Amino acid sequence: MTPISLLATALALFAPEFAAPASMASFDATALTTPTAIKVKSEDGQRRIEGVAQVLAEQLSQRDRTVLGRKVLSPRRVTIATGDFPGGADTLVVVSVDLRMKRPEMPQKYISGVFTMTPSGTLGAVVVPLKMRTQHFALQSSGDVDADGMTDAVVVATDDEGARAHLFSWNEGASIDNVLSPAAS
């Protein structure tokens, strides 16, 4: 486990309460709970992993597909959680595949991104484009914080500079990225 993934795990375990984003008229932080994950080794999980592999093949640049190679899509690298998302999608997929760095002095890089998926395992919507970057993503919590019938998700983005929590909500089917601040004590 890299120091960055360790930090993301710690943040997920000791999650602060968040202040309402200025852009949201209504915000119920108590709606955020631990996401319901789909087990990768289940029949549904295997169909979703095949879908994730297809989405990676379609969405990644040729260069990033080459760098990714044949990395195994395991629960450590892919989180698949249930919910109600626009366009008939029923899962949120968070990908963070750590890459082997040839030069240790260089920042750690990941193939990472966030997207939704339909029950058949096809791409619903891209939330954070899949590409090589220095950010590791970890799904922290989910729930309908704005009472619009769609599942919102808190994803922690961690890099060498620290961690930031992002609340992804929806407006007319498009994702909105709200950077969260801890609630005042």
Residue-wise pLDDT tens digits, 42-55: 888 899 999 999 99
Taking the CB of residue 20, how many other CB atoms lie within 10 A of it?
A: 18
Ramachandran class of 97: left when φ > 0, alpha when ψ lies in -120 to 50, beta otherwise? beta
Owning domain of residue 99: 3-12+29-171
Residue 11, pLDDT above cutoff 70: no
Q: Is residue 182, in this structure, part of any structural domain at all?
A: no
Per residue in 119-175, pLDDT (tens digit) is 988 999 999 999 999 999 999 999 999 999 999 999 999 998 889 999 999 988 899
Give the integer Cα–Cα distance in Å for 94 and 153.
11
Give the mean model confidence (pLDDT) for residues 1-22: 50
Q: If residue 6 lies in a helix (H) or strand (E), which one and from where to where?
A: helix 3-13
Give the integer Cα–Cα distance in Å for 112 and 129.
8
Q: Is residue 86, in this structure, part of any structural domain at all?
A: yes
Q: Is residue 126, in this structure, part of any structural domain at all?
A: yes
Q: Is residue 70, in this structure, part of any structural domain at all?
A: yes
DSSP character for 49?
H
Q: Is residue 154, in this structure, part of any structural domain at all?
A: yes
Per residue in 108-130, pLDDT (tens digit) is 999 999 999 999 889 999 999 99
pLDDT interval class at 14 (50, 70, 90): very low
Q: Is residue 73, in this structure, part of any structural domain at all?
A: yes
Residue among 80, 71, 84, 77 nearest 46 (CA): 80
Q: Is residue 128, in this structure, part of any structural domain at all?
A: yes
- Count: domains in the chain: 1
**What is the side-by-side strand order in the sheet with 91-98?**
78-82, 91-98, 110-117, 123-133
Q: Are 92 and 139 within 8 A, CB to CB? A: yes
Q: Is residue 164, in this structure, part of any structural domain at all?
A: yes
Which structure tokens are listed for 120?
A: 């058949």
SS3 89: coil
